[in-house]
Amino acid sequence: MFIEIPRELEAALIDLPLPEWKLDGFSLAKSTIEEYQAELAATPQFEETAAKLRDALTRESGGYAVLRLGNLAKPLGNDDRFLRLATAFAAAVAVPFSPFPRWPLWKDIGVKVDKDPGKSSGIGYNAFHMDLVNATRPPDYTTLLCVRPDPLGGGPSILSDAHAAVARLSDNTRALLAETAYHYGAFFDLYGVGDEYKPFPILGGALGEGFVRFTAKMLERSELGQAHAEAARELAEELVRGQVSFLLQAGDYLIVNQRRFLHGREALQSGQEKVPVADRRLLLQLFLRTPGDMSSDA
């Protein structure tokens, strides 16, 4: 699932003059996508690399990929040119968009020592979840670009095949997860993700299909009936049992197909309060929508 960029392609991308992106509402403008596609199509081995990326994300045994862009981040210095390249790779998979009005496209995820430790910007364990779990149209893909890893060496990313985890559960547990009995989180000031879905089923389609609308945080922060809570807890255990983990390096670009995999993060290394803010772990998040997808929870 780790995709290296061929050296010939890296050399061509370093000097590629991609234009600034434009937005159409909350999505990357079609004109920008076409410009990026035209520029990249002329670079050697881009189409082969993009095809490998899409295959890793969509094949039956796949669902996530890490694009190794570190050799591009070094000479470009994580400036706007590098971010345009990452955006162009994302646009080769699906349509980039931002559901948050505060962030026009990419969202910063830094480290705040006084934040809830279980949040994405906290320092503790961030349990398995899908992003925008309580929206009728969650993003098809969530992506994380590593600008700086934890300088103390902590915070491995964790991923788990949600459908494989569900398949290991009993029929009775799956039946409970398919009931419209779950809820989590607030819902306000969001673009392009439909309406609030409350309550919602964790399983919204046939076995092996559709979103698995799960966040382990619902077990502690939502009032659930005993049977439904126990079913969700069993799923959480199976997700942990089947997890893979790895440390993102500077320039690594993680793309997760939310229709297949759930993601999270192990705790950062202790001592974060001693690390200067400018040196702490920093990720940038971008969401993707499959073109023409107007489904709700299918």
Question: pLDDT tens digits, residue range 109-163?
Answer: 999 999 999 999 999 999 999 999 999 999 999 999 999 999 999 999 999 999 9
Structure tokens at 111: 């480290």
| Beta bridge partner(s), residue 231 | none
Structure tokens at 3: 């995709």
The greatest distance separating any two alpha carbons of the chain, rounded to the nearest whole angstrom, comes to 58
Residues 137-151 have pLDDT tens digits of 999 999 999 999 999
295 pLDDT more than 50: no
Which of 75, 91, 102 has its CA nearest to residue 41? 91
Q: List the chain domain ranges.
A: 2-289
Which of 298, 63, 96, 285 has its CA nearest to residue 197? 298
Is the pTM for the entire model greater than 0.85? Answer: yes
- Looking up tokens 């974060």, which residue turns up? 272
CATH H-level superfamily of 2-289: Clavaminate synthase-like (3.60.130.10)
Least confident piece of the model among 25-29, 78-82, 128-132, 243-247: 78-82
Coil, helix or strand for 282?
Answer: strand
189 pLDDT more than 70: yes
- Please tell me what DSSP assigns to residue 274: G
